[in-house]
């Protein structure tokens, strides 16, 4: 293994001690940076409003209020907003996965004559700030071209635009490029059509990248705030990210922090469970950073 410390230096007691010290300090800082905000949110969730004001830097509340989690579930109806977020996540995940897989498959495996131009146009959208296209996107959902439907205040207004994610198409295409195309040619010789090649050969080999796209789609849909705030004005349909901004004006501080902590848990747990698949999938695509 290549490191910034030579083998001879690691063999000396002083060098080994220095390496362990630096490694331990770096690891401790990473743990504090990663776990610290989660712990602080949990600590604030079980603290009283008075203690949050008088002693905000306390490492643990003097009188923990575990009932805050039950109160936000009943009084603030957090369960309803979490369910709304679940609907947003499921639809956004399905649309993003479908678009990324089909577009990546077409550009990498089918390779139409106009493919490079389409791929360049898709990548060009990555340089357009999200807020710049928001006005045109809103005008589109209130009067969908050709069919003239108003999708405002429906989850379709969030699901369909979620599919226009150029990064997912990029990593899907990069992954499909790395697959052995000899298998596709052999399947076509055996009489497999385009659909059968994708379903029976490409998809079973693409589990790592499907996990990456799924995790990215879920994380983005769960935390997205600006577009759901614009597209869904009905409070009964708003996801948790939007509802928290409304509850901040009326809920006590301790209950609001408890609600924020409950909103943090699902994506954090999901990432902890599936982080290995994400790292493996990004390694296959060659995408770094």
Q: 148-174, pLDDT tens digit by residue? A: 899 999 999 999 999 989 999 999 999
- Poorest-pLDDT segment among 8-17, 31-40, 105-114, 188-197: 8-17
Domain 77-285 belongs to what topology?
Answer: MetI-like fold (1.10.3720)
Per residue in 64-121, pLDDT (tens digit) is: 999 999 999 998 899 999 999 999 999 999 999 999 999 999 999 888 899 999 999 9
Distance of CA 222 to the CA centre of its chain: 7
pTM of the model: 0.84
Asked whether the CA dihedral 40, 34, 80, 152 is positive or negative, the reply is positive
| Residue 234: HSE in the Cβ half-sphere, 13 Å Cα cutoff | 9
* Domain positions in the chain: 7-68, 77-285
Residue 235 makes CB contacts below 8 A (sequence gap 6+) with 243, 246
Place of tokens 């790292």: 279
Q: How confident is the model at residue 3 (pLDDT cuts 50, 70, 90)?
A: low
């Amino acid at each position: 293994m290549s490191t910034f410390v030579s083998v001879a230096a690691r063999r000396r007691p002083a060098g080994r001690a220095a390496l362990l010290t630096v490694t331990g300090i770096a690891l401790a800082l990473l743990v504090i940076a990663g776990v610290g905000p989660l712990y602080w949110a949990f600590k604030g969730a079980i603290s009283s409003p008075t203690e949050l004001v008088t002693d905000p830097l306390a490492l643990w509340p003097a009188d923990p209020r575990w009932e805050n989690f039950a109160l936000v579930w009943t009084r603030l109806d957090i369960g309803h907003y979490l369910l709304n977020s679940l609907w947003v996540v499921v639809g956004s995940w399905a649309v993003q996965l479908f678009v990324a897989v089909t577009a990546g498959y077409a550009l990498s495996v089918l390779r139409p004559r106009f493919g490079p131009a389409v791929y360049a146009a898709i990548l060009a959208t990555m340089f357009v700030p999200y807020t710049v296209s928001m006005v045109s996107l809103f005008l589109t959902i209130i009067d969908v071209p050709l069919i003239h439907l108003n999708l405002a205040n429906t989850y379709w207004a969030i699901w369909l635009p979620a599919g226009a994610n150029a990064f997912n198409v990029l990593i899907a295409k990069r992954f499909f490029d790395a697959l052995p195309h000899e298998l596709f040619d052999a399947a076509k010789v055996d009489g497999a059509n385009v659909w059968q090649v994708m379903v029976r050969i490409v998809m079973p080999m693409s589990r790592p990248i499907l996990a990456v796209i799924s995790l990215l789609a879920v994380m983005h849909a769960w935390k997205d705030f600006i577009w759901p705030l614009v597209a869904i004005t009905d409070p009964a349909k708003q996801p948790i990210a939007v509802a928290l901004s409304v509850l901040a004006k009326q809920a006590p501080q301790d209950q609001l922090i408890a609600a924020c902590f409950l909103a943090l848990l699902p994506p954090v747990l999901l990432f902890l469970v599936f982080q290995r698949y994400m790292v493996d999938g990004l390694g296959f695509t060659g995408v770094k950073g």
